[in-house]
A and B are shown apart, each in its own frame.
Chain A
Amino acid sequence: QQQVKQSPQSLIVQKGGISIINCAYENTAFDYFPWYQQFPGKGPALLIAIRPDVSEKKEGRFTISFNKSAKQFSLHIMDSQPGDSATYFCAASMTGGGNKLTFGTGTQLKVEL
């Protein structure tokens, strides 16, 4: 019940296209859903996060869509650029019991020219 399932494992998108990465969870107590971006040789960096009181959050070209009833959330990267090529992780945590994130398995995104 602590798992966060992420798909796809890898994704190739043309420059200017939309990249979509999906995550699903089972634990309805989760109430914080961040996305992390990791470049080779670096640690993951917080990209954008959402709480379940909203269905969408947008920051620049990055948007999280959240569907509470389906227990799913997704990351959309609009106008994808080669510089977006990285591994993306979704995660989830719950209030109380400390700040412990459960991570998805990661999606390797490649944006081609």
Chain B
Amino acid sequence: ETGVTQTPRHLVMGMTNKKSLKCEQHLGHNAMYWYKQSAKKPLELMFVYSLEERVENNSVPSRFSPECPNSSHLFLHLHTLQPEDSALYLCASSRWQGNYGYTFGSGTRLTVV
């Protein structure tokens, strides 16, 4: 395990469903991130949380709703998704101040049908 745990690993959902992705870290980090990874595209930063406050929202559609209840947990709530939202969703954590590498989870492979 990398220190960042994501569940579920795989998710298939219909366009009218509501589901949530979960991310958990116990590395003592105070920043958490959601990334979208699609085939043949660069990693797309979706949301950044620092000290449980959202500090960045990169023009992500409202059908994606993040939640960070504490510094160890991050959720991505999904509703009325589109097939083009099918991708690997990666969570990462790091220290917020200074330049440090991220620790990524293994991701949730999402398929929207």
Interface residues of A (CB under 8 A from B): 31-32, 34, 36, 41-46, 49, 51, 89, 93-95, 98-101, 103-106
B66 within 8 A of partner (CB): no
**Main secondary structure on A side of the interface with B:** loop
Cβ-defined contact, B99 with A32, below 8 A: yes
Cβ-defined contact, B43 with A43, below 8 A: no
* Chain B 1-21 per-residue mask, 1 if CB under 8 angstroms from chain A, else 0: 010101000000000000000
In this complex, the member of B100, B102, B107 whose beta carbon has the largest number of chain A beta carbons within 10 angstroms is B102
Known pairs A42-B107, A94-B99, A103-B43; list 5 more (Cβ under 8 Å). A43-B4, A44-B90, A98-B31, A98-B50, A100-B45
Q: Interface size (B, Cβ < 8 Å)?
A: 28
Residues of chain A within 8 A of B50, CB atoms compared: 98
Which of B42, B45, B55, B92 is close to A43, meaning CB atoms less than 8 Å apart?
A: B92
Which of B2, B42, B101, B107 is close to A103, meaning CB atoms less than 8 Å apart?
A: B42
